[in-house]
């Protein structure tokens, strides 16, 4: 992935996050819900002044600073890499960059994050989240998977050349 598609993907995530939050604010009252897939998927508009899953309630500005530092860190790290990046690595960095910026904007502008996606799996109700949260999780999951795969390949190569015992 080259720099332009990397930046474009991060921008698409940011715009999709902000658009869906704008749409939900104009479609549902706070704490109201609309069922999309019976007993599975709902749009439930809520606000979150804390971190994921309601951890650190009312830590909005600390979390805004954390999101800004994360976005800057990802941006600086990505910019200093040799380009083009492997597509999966570029995606793994661009998704959380756009997501962190989306939640940062909410925290600075509103003092909280707008969440609205509610998923039920049997009797379990997943904490309500948004597009930015999804992209952060997918991006970080991609990076973890790449790191595990890379470590596995390194270990296999070391075994082949006899540098570590089998």
Provide, for the chain, the percentages of residues in helix, strand and coil under a 3-state DSSP scheme, each rounded to the nearest 5: 65, 15, 20
Q: Is 106 a catalytic residue?
A: no
User: Would strands 33-37 and 41-48 be described as parallel, antiparallel, or unpaired?
Assistant: antiparallel
Identify the active-site residue in 17, 31, 106, 133: 133
Q: Which helix (H) or strand (E) holds 35?
A: strand 33-37
CA angle 58, 128, 23 (to 5 degrees): 95
Active-site residues: which are they? Answer: 115, 133
């Amino acid at each position: 992935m080259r720099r332009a598609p990397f930046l474009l993907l991060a921008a698409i995530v940011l715009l999709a996050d902000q658009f869906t939050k704008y749409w939900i604010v104009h479609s549902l009252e706070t704490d109201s819900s609309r069922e999309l897939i019976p007993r599975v998927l709902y749009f439930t508009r809520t606000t979150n002044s804390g971190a994921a899953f309601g951890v650190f309630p009312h830590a909005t500005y600390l979390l805004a600073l954390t999101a800004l530092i994360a976005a800057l860190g990802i941006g600086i790290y990505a910019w200093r890499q040799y380009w083009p990046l492997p597509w999966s690595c570029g995606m793994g960095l661009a998704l959380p960059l756009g997501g962190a910026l989306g939640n940062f904007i909410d925290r600075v502008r509103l003092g909280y994050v707008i969440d609205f996606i509610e998923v039920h799996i049997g009797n379990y109700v997943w904490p309500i989240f948004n597009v930015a949260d999804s992209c952060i999780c997918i991006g970080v999951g991609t990076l973890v998977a790449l790191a595990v795969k890379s470590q596995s390949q390194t270990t296999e190569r070391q075994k082949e050349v006899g540098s570590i015992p089998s």
